[in-house]
Structure 1
Amino acid sequence: MSESAAPLRRLARLLWRAARAIVFAIGLVTILLAGAGLWGLHRLAGRPTALPEHFILSLNLQTAPPDVAAPSALLRRATGATPTLEQTIAAIDRAATDPRVRGIDILLGGGCCGLTTAEELHDALARFRAISHRQVVARAMSFDGAEGLGAYIVATAANRIELSDAGDFGVTGLALQSPFAADLLKMAGVEAQFEHIGKYKTYPELFTRSGPSAAATEMMNSLAGSLYDSALVPIAARLKRSPDQVKALFDQAPFSAAQAKQDGLVDTVLPLSAEVAHVRGVHVSLADYVADAAPAPAGAPKVALIVAHGDINAPDAPGRRSGIDPARLAHEIATAVADPSIRAIVLRLDTPGGTVTGSAMVGAEVARAARLHKPLIVSMGALDASGGYWISSHGAVLVADPATLTGSIGVLGGKFSFGGLLARLGVSVSTASRGANALFDSAVTPWTEAQLASLQGQLDLDYQKFVGWVAAGRRMSPAQVNAVGQGRVWTGAQARSRGLVDRLGGYHEAFMTVRAALHLPADAALDIVPGNEQPGLAALLATLARQANPLEAAALPEPLRGLFALTRLHRLSMVPVELR
């Protein structure tokens, strides 16, 4: 290379070093700014807002309070997370005896609420009114569909229900729907092969049939009837009508706002010229009121609250971001059991089930708590079925909402074979294998009759283990468990009458059960501490980065993730239903 090129090389090196320095400086400034922001958020999170002498407590229930909190106060500030359902219930109960709280103002929307959440909130608001004799006002633009039914259940706890004249009353009943995709899969060249144990373990029918079996139809109608009956109880009480009269009224819906008022469903219609305005007075948000809560008094018994939500993964799949990591949940329970300062545990579960291995891992820790005589109270959310019920069955006391879907004591297994689809797409797969069952887990090759028979035998053994495990935990005979098992899903109300749960209610009832187990007065203070592991700074930063990552929008939707999860053998999952 000529000497004339030397200056160019030096210039290139200089530019490269300058570029590196600029990138380094930008990165350093970004890190410092991020650190300063996180430090500021941390200081802000720990600094409560001074509340006025008297105020109205505002509940924004346009979306439902979550069961699972953001992992730290810092992250809650950074993401604008709302208080959890447990914090919301506790705040309403505290407000009942707080002289500063002059009433509660509720803004309801289309995102509130599922039936179980609605019933918990309704009961808490009813307690507030009974104890404080103060006003509760519920406001909504409209009440529509399944979410409208939940929102209206919450509203019926109020002294006054206000509905905008721009909206309508569209609560028309309740329906459960499940899709059946066998014909679609056949057209696509996908072969679904599933076996199950239990007459009512009908989840595989979604992929193997074009319509429900008689057993599935029987179960779904039974669930719909029980859910609707429990939903109508608070509505009928407020309207001072029988449930049958309310059903007849809803059969004529939807109504205009004016008609809804005439029929006594709402108390006030806000004119089109008016906004859905706040109740007069100084307002304090739920988040600020929760932050203002005083710490538990010295000596109050410590109760660990452990919350688990989602599908139960296999123990060897710890990298999955969604669902329940059984190893982590088992460790959280074991830690609370081993801690002598923890007097009792409340395990809140909201899960349709999952893997046998994951369920068994967590269930073993729940059983160990029973052997060590540490009260572990199970509080069931909207779902605590199949693998979730495996975990719950050894709890000291099982508390379910009347609308909880639980039970589903049964086993299924199967897979999808995509060989036909690949062939239609012009893709051929060449295989070299050794062993008669080397392709047992293949997503290309379907099972032989002998392999299906082998799977059936394994599922038979899993079902016997499931039945035996529940029988031991619930102090029932295997025959009794089998009679209410067979994969059948029950509502909480149905499950209680069949010995599968002990009490009906939500968080409030669960903590009342703790007090009874510890021989405390009903109004005794409890020091409720989080039992879930708190992530470190690196995990918090990763969560923030993930939430800001545009690629998250391209992730598989939940139904498809659930479909592909079914390709793992041996599942304890209930049939998915959509409430309409």
Structure 2
Amino acid sequence: MRDFIKYTLATITGIILASFLLFFLSTIVFFGLVSSTETEVVIRDNSVLRLKLNGELKDRVLSDDTFSFLLGKDQINYGLEDILDAINKATTNEQIKGIYIEAGNLSTSYSSLWEIREALSKFKEAGKFIISYADHYTQGLYYLASVSNKVILNPQGMIFWAGLSSNPIYFKDLLSKIGVEMQVFKVGTYKSAVEPYISNEMSNENKEQLTALLDNTWKNVLTSVSEDRKISVDSLNYLADQMLMFQPTETLLTNHVVDTLLYKTEVEALINSHLGVDTDKKMNYVSVNDMAKFKQKTPKDRSGNLLAVYYASGEIIDEAPAYSMQASDYIIGNKMVKELKKIEEDKHIKAVVLRVNSPGGSAYASEQIWKAVKDLKKKKPVIVSMGDYAASGGYYISSAADTILATPTTLTGSIGIFGMYPNTKEITQKIGIHIGSVKTNQFSDFGVIGRGLDKEEQALMQAHVNRGYDLFLARCAEGRKTTPNEIHKVAEGRVWTGEMAKELNLVDNLGGLEAAIQLAAEKAEIDAYTLMSYPEKESLLTTLLKSSNSSVIKAIIKQEPLFQIYNPIHLINHLKSGNLLQARLPLELNIK
């Protein structure tokens, strides 16, 4: 009887789980069919583009938005490319009279904000209005909102305005306590990615580097806000030192930091007054997703010309990982090489914009991608558009392009190589693990757990790193049409902002993605073309089938404050898997 009950319960449980899975898959198929038959968006007169800025902003969202509601109703389900496209369409659309920015808690960089700000400035120059509102402004979104005609704050709201800081975490004592010593091999005075593992405090070189980066970035923020808000840079610095978020909102009005204090429910009446209609009239809002579906009334391009924008976003790795909920998490070396080869062979593609948003990663994969970009350049113009960062391996793959553009606050450079090896001899002894060894040759047991590298092995590793650095210099020198010695002077692992990099001839001009697209068309001598984005977007079902629970856990631990701990552990995991040579941005560059 007991076995009968047990088997019956097991059968019922199986039926319930199977039914749930069937329902879930059916729902995906249903919504997929619905989304594939969406009607074209019609924009009515006196419409306003609403930009809801909350959540994490990436260059591009690779999977569809069928289940975007699972992210939460206020989380954005579009990328920077979609926002820029929406603003550009709105600029030339006669039915759209203004933009309403709802500023939330957006996770992004000053580089991406600069690109949005540039597009908003052109929108305003077209004679249209921009109104922004926030319950509370983050520093980055106040920088963005300052371009508006009207900056509105809730009467009980706050503005965080306190300057920039970078606060690395150091692990040397922790590693010592558990019995792990990191053996480090590097080239470059400023290659400070290894510092957290071998030191308890910031080196003078890293302090010099971070100070220059923060000062240059803050200068750009202050200059832009000062010009649009008509507040002097000295006054803005003074306000930052007063911890503005704890000041009365009346102080913000007095100092012209905001234009007016309104509750969110009162904002629509103000927008209607700008439209010249009754203040109680219902708004005609259009969203970023609406603009993506909207078909511009422009002459159909019959030239057959294509201009490709390839988004190289994320950490550079050799091969696809066993898990990943988001394909945009990584630049997969062998996959990108194949895709660039297809673009090279496509005769309809006349020019390529390589959008790089990467802190670097595997030196081997970076070299393979560099070669693919070089081959591509022989057939058609290649323009690099640097995003938030294109550093170390990210700069490596960029260096082969015809022209490199960066924003003023892009983090780039970091031309250097390092490797690390964990010596676990002490910890294995502490926990009672003893390892024997039988080998046929001198280095047969290289990499075996329970011991560090001996002097000969260390010398071999350092020589390997040195060769990697020399190759890195040679690749950059070839691309920048100079000598390895000249590159070395601005290399050694040091990170630069885009503005600083332009002065050092590491980039050609300052500009965003839109400027890169225009330049690519000019280089290819084409006036009419269709823009194509790569890699191709995936359906939600495809993304889910490729994912695992690990990716969900990863998404959680990458949030602050766990992110600062996740990153160093993530690096050690890559070293453990055999990627001993890393061309990577310093991990402690957490600018806030």
Q: What's the TM-score bracket when you normalise by the shorter of the two chains? A: 0.7 to 0.9
Q: Which moved more, 1:530-539 or 1:164-173?
A: 530-539
Contact 2:323–2:547 (8 Å) recurs in 1: no
Classify the secondary structure of the residue corresponding to 1:111. Answer: strand
Query: CA separation in 2, counterparts of 1:47 and 1:527?
Result: 22
User: 1:337: which partner in 2?
Assistant: 344
Query: CA separation in 2, counterparts of 1:284 and 1:536?
Result: 24
Does 2:79 align with 1:84?
A: yes
Query: CA separation in 1, counterparts of 2:528 and 2:217?
Result: 33
Query: CA separation in 2, counterparts of 1:437 and 1:15?
Result: 56
> Deviation at 1:311?
1.4
1:295–1:20 distance in 2 versus 1, CA, 3 Å = farther
Quick one: which of 196, 202, 220 aligns to 2:210? 220
1:176–1:18 distance in 2 versus 1, CA, 3 Å = closer
Classify the secondary structure of the residue corresponding to 2:60. Answer: coil
Unaligned runs of 5+ in 1: 1-7
Structure 2 letter corresponding to 1:135: F
Quick one: which of 473, 478, 486 aligns to 2:484? 478
Does 2:49 align with 1:47?
A: no
> Deviation at 1:314?
2.3
Unaligned runs of 5+ in 2: 273-282
Query: CA separation in 1, counterparts of 2:42 and 2:496?
Result: 46
Quick one: which of 570, 574, 578 aligns to 1:561? 570
Query: CA separation in 2, counterparts of 1:550 and 1:414?
Result: 26
Quick one: which of 89, 102, 109 aligns to 1:107? 102
Deviations 1:142-191 (Å, cap 9, x if unpaired)? 23xxxx22111110110000111222222111112222221221122111
Classify the secondary structure of the residue corresponding to 2:182. Answer: strand
Q: TM-score, normalised by structure 2?
A: 0.86
Does 2:403 align with 1:358?
A: no
Query: CA separation in 2, counterparts of 1:157 and 1:247?
Result: 18
User: 2:284: which partner in 1?
Assistant: 282
Does 2:190 align with 1:200?
A: yes
Query: CA separation in 2, counterparts of 1:547 and 1:189?
Result: 28
Query: CA separation in 1, counterparts of 2:184 and 2:195?
Result: 9
Does 2:62 align with 1:67?
A: no
1:443–1:45 distance in 2 versus 1, CA, 3 Å = farther
Does 2:375 align with 1:368?
A: yes
Quick one: which of 389, 392, 395 aligns to 2:398? 392
Structure 2 letter corresponding to 1:233: T
Structure 1 letter corresponding to 2:194: P
Contact 1:42–1:74 (8 Å) recurs in 2: no
Query: CA separation in 2, counterparts of 1:339 and 1:494?
Result: 36
Contact 2:142–2:159 (8 Å) recurs in 1: no
Deviations 1:418-443 (Å, cap 9, x if unpaired)? 3323333x231323231332343234
Deviations 1:202-222 (Å, cap 9, x if unpaired)? 211111111122221211111
Query: CA separation in 1, counterparts of 2:91 and 2:436?
Result: 69
1:205–1:390 distance in 2 versus 1, CA, 3 Å = same
Q: Which moved more, 1:213-222 or 1:528-537?
A: 528-537
User: 1:511: which partner in 2?
Assistant: 517
Q: How does 1:516-531 map to 2 (within 5 A)?
A: 516-520=522-526, 526-531=529-534
User: 2:275: which partner in 1?
Assistant: none
1:19–1:571 distance in 2 versus 1, CA, 3 Å = closer
Q: How does 1:87-486 map to 2 (within 5 A)?
A: 87-131=82-126, 133-143=127-137, 148-254=138-244, 255-270=247-262, 275=265, 277-278=267-268, 279-280=271-272, 281-294=283-296, 297-299=300-302, 301-315=305-319, 318-319=321-322, 321=324, 322-372=329-379, 374-424=380-430, 426-434=431-439, 435-486=441-492
Contact 1:260–1:266 (8 Å) recurs in 2: yes
Contact 2:222–2:233 (8 Å) recurs in 1: yes
Query: CA separation in 2, counterparts of 1:525 and 1:90?
Result: 17
Contact 2:388–2:411 (8 Å) recurs in 1: yes
1:304–1:39 distance in 2 versus 1, CA, 3 Å = farther
Q: TM-score, normalised by structure 1?
A: 0.88
> Deviation at 1:39?
4.1
> Deviation at 1:550?
7.5
> Deviation at 1:561?
1.5
Contact 1:305–1:347 (8 Å) recurs in 2: yes
Query: CA separation in 2, counterparts of 1:63 and 1:412?
Result: 33
Q: Which moved more, 1:527-536 or 1:538-547?
A: 538-547
Query: CA separation in 1, counterparts of 2:497 and 2:68?
Result: 33
1:334–1:83 distance in 2 versus 1, CA, 3 Å = same
Classify the secondary structure of the residue corresponding to 1:82. Answer: coil
Q: Which moved more, 1:295-304 or 1:389-398?
A: 295-304
Contact 1:496–1:503 (8 Å) recurs in 2: yes
Contact 1:38–1:74 (8 Å) recurs in 2: no
Contact 2:58–2:108 (8 Å) recurs in 1: no
Contact 2:43–2:95 (8 Å) recurs in 1: no
Classify the secondary structure of the residue corresponding to 2:450. Answer: coil
Query: CA separation in 2, counterparts of 1:196 and 1:484?
Result: 16
> Deviation at 1:394?
0.5
> Deviation at 1:553?
5.5
> Deviation at 1:27?
3.8
Classify the secondary structure of the residue corresponding to 2:58. Answer: coil
Contact 2:301–2:528 (8 Å) recurs in 1: no
CA RMSD, Structure 1 to Structure 2 (Å): 3.0
Query: CA separation in 2, counterparts of 1:185 and 1:216?
Result: 21
Classify the secondary structure of the residue corresponding to 1:176. Answer: coil
Identity %: 24
Deviations 1:283-313 (Å, cap 9, x if unpaired)? 1222122222349832363122221222111
Classify the secondary structure of the residue corresponding to 2:315. Answer: coil
Classify the secondary structure of the residue corresponding to 2:156. Answer: coil
Structure 1 letter corresponding to 2:350: R
> Deviation at 1:510?
1.4
> Deviation at 1:327?
0.9
Structure 2 letter corresponding to 1:579: I
State the aligned residue count.
Answer: 558
1:54–1:276 distance in 2 versus 1, CA, 3 Å = closer
Query: CA separation in 2, counterparts of 1:544 and 1:41?
Result: 18
Contact 1:402–1:491 (8 Å) recurs in 2: yes
1:414–1:112 distance in 2 versus 1, CA, 3 Å = closer
Classify the secondary structure of the residue corresponding to 1:442. Answer: coil
> Deviation at 1:541?
3.9
1:259–1:113 distance in 2 versus 1, CA, 3 Å = farther
Classify the secondary structure of the residue corresponding to 1:572. Answer: strand
Contact 1:108–1:151 (8 Å) recurs in 2: yes
1:387–1:37 distance in 2 versus 1, CA, 3 Å = closer
Contact 2:309–2:352 (8 Å) recurs in 1: yes
> Deviation at 1:121?
1.1
> Deviation at 1:354?
0.7
1:197–1:33 distance in 2 versus 1, CA, 3 Å = closer
Contact 1:42–1:73 (8 Å) recurs in 2: no
